[in-house]
Chains A and B, each alone.
Chain A
Amino acid sequence: MIVTAAPARSPRHALYDGDLRSLLLIRHFERALLRLFEQGVLSGTTHTCLGQEYVPVALSALLRDDDFVFSNHRGHGHFLARHPDPHGLLAEIMGREGALCGGVGGSQHIYHRRFLSTGVQGESLPVATGVALKLAGSGALACAYIGDGTWGEGAVYEALNMASLWRVPLLVVVEHNGIAQSTPTSAQMAGTIAARAAAFGVRHHHVTSTDVGEIREALAPLVDTVRAEPSPLVVEFATHRLGPHSKGDDTRPPEEIRRARESDWYDRYAEADPERFARIDREQRELVERVVAEVSARPHSRPGGSA
């Protein structure tokens, strides 16, 4: 059973065009990936962030260019919200010319400017703590996205302890979607994330809204404090995974998937502002279609080559 639920209500703050664009770019990018897999054009695996797009979009305006972002296996949205470069990302996933990392890393191993992802859960938090240690005092921070399931890894706690002891500007963004691959939170986490953060003297903030503007408003002063003090902060989003963990591997009961869909931002934003939404939705869908066509036609990537 998913223990988290976002309130279903219409957005209080109107979305900027740029945010809507970003949300829909990620949505259509992820959908395109699942389609490409079905067509047998993609190899390996992928983890889409369908339903969770608003988390990195909300955060993007709170992050600075000199902040360092650590991402995980479900990282396409994290990347696109920070670097709207769907060509580079898709080329990386498809191993084509223009790939962000020459096609070596693929979907889960990307290092581009100050954005880095890796596929081993929990591994990033100590590294983010080290980066934050270096950034402390500069006003920049290290932001690390992790899932609820990743709180099973011991490295998470070793990192939180040091981050708190050494007062480093570390922003831990938890996308608590109630599930880890196939295992519901209730079967993999005792206690709560809030209590775990408290145990290390680390501030914790819970976000249940899916409203980009509302989230930003609440987080802005907290993120400022992370930079200014500096100090670590855990921001836990109650969110929902709409799609499978990777591809074709969703064993959740239908009513649970339905409940996740009901919390989706997509329909709510569409209803709130139908005309603008439809226009930007079409624009981003067509953009992603063009990106897919263009990148698919490119030759294979070579590491250390273009990009």
Chain B
Amino acid sequence: MTRVSEHINQALHDLMESDPSVHLLGEDVSDPYGGAFKVTRGLSDRFGSRVRSTPLSEGAIAGVGAGLALAGDKAIVEIMFSDFVALAFDQITNFAAKSTSMYGRPVPVPLVVRCPTGGNRGYGPTHSQNPQKHFIGVPGLSLFEMTPFHDAGELFARMFRLARPCLFFEDKVLYTRQMYRTDDLFRFELVDDVARVYLDGAGRPDCTLITHGGLVHRALDAMRTLLLEDDLVCELLVPAQLYPVPRLPGLEDARHVCVVDDGTEGGSWAAEVATALYPRLWGRLRRPITLVNSADGVIPAAPHLEREVLVQADSIRAAVKEGLS
């Protein structure tokens, strides 16, 4: 049994061991602190100056990462809370992403920006957001998210192979969960790199849920209640690549599709997934794809208020039931 944070930590150790061109930068990432969420523990002790605790300079460290990448190395930059990636928006979108194509020939920029993300921890409005949607549709930029089903080492290798900047979101509550575990009712498999979580032996599901890594456990809780209380069978698809939206397997015979997204509603990842699916599924869908998002509001610090704003298992359950009614 491995916690997700330990799993990512191990993947970073393996990556830096196997590839001496990889650098890691971020605030307080060095030992003994090992990062705000301890994901970089042991790396600076082991890899010396390839791992650097930086000043509080999110914009510049994203740029430094891009510079290392431009000069032929590879860089991983940690943004302590993904909310602060806003400070690196210019470096990521206007330099790192664009430079892969704005010079009239491909320029490789192997840069991964790691972003601890999400709420449900009572950290308040500037430390809890899911900013994925702000980076959708930026030419030259890919978005990935950690899930409990995908090997982080393979994801890092894949992102670097793309030779373009990638944002890698890691949900802060997911850090504390175990890798490769589902609810005892469900099993999972990887299909073309998308995790498919399904009820063993069940036929065609009543609803196919699509979500990102940070929401997996809330989606599983909803699926369990839907099965036991409402007699509804759901299947769950979890892509590690969020954007460009990858091919999602097995939707051709879906009775209903519901995309669940922890970002605030409006211009959301969920809408992007639905946009990608409509042309493919148009003739078969019996009703519009259901989108479930966090509310259009800031994320309060007080847990009783925060809970109401973010997507929860009961809001997923309610949305599925409504979609099927």
Contact = CB atoms under 8 A, between A and B. Distances in A.
A72 to B, nearest CB: 11
B53 A187 contact: yes
Interface in B295-325: 298, 300-305
A45 to B, nearest CB: 6
B301 A103 contact: yes
Nearest to A42: B122
Q: 6 closest A-B pairs (Cβ-Cβ)? A: A106-B301, A95-B302, A152-B55, A44-B122, A103-B302, A43-B122
Given A108-B301, A120-B83, 10 more contacts: A44-B121, A105-B125, A108-B126, A120-B84, A152-B54, A153-B56, A180-B55, A180-B56, A182-B53, A300-B305
A106 B54 contact: no
Interface of A: 43-45, 94-95, 99, 102-109, 118-122, 149-154, 180-183, 187-189, 249, 251, 300-301, 303
Task: Tell me the interface secondary structure of chain B in the complex.
Answer: loop
Interface stretch (B4-12, B27-35, B103-111): B27-35
Contacts of B56: 121-122, 149-150, 152-153, 180, 188
Nearest to B298: A104
B302 A109 contact: no
Given A183-B53, A187-B53, A189-B55, A249 B301 contact: no
B65 to A, nearest CB: 16
A182 B28 contact: yes
B301 to A, nearest CB: 2
Contact of A44 (B27, B36, B123): B123
A181 B126 contact: no
B57 A107 contact: no
B127 interface: yes
B104 to A, nearest CB: 30
A102 B57 CA distance: 32
B57 A109 contact: no
B302 A300 contact: yes
B27 A105 contact: no
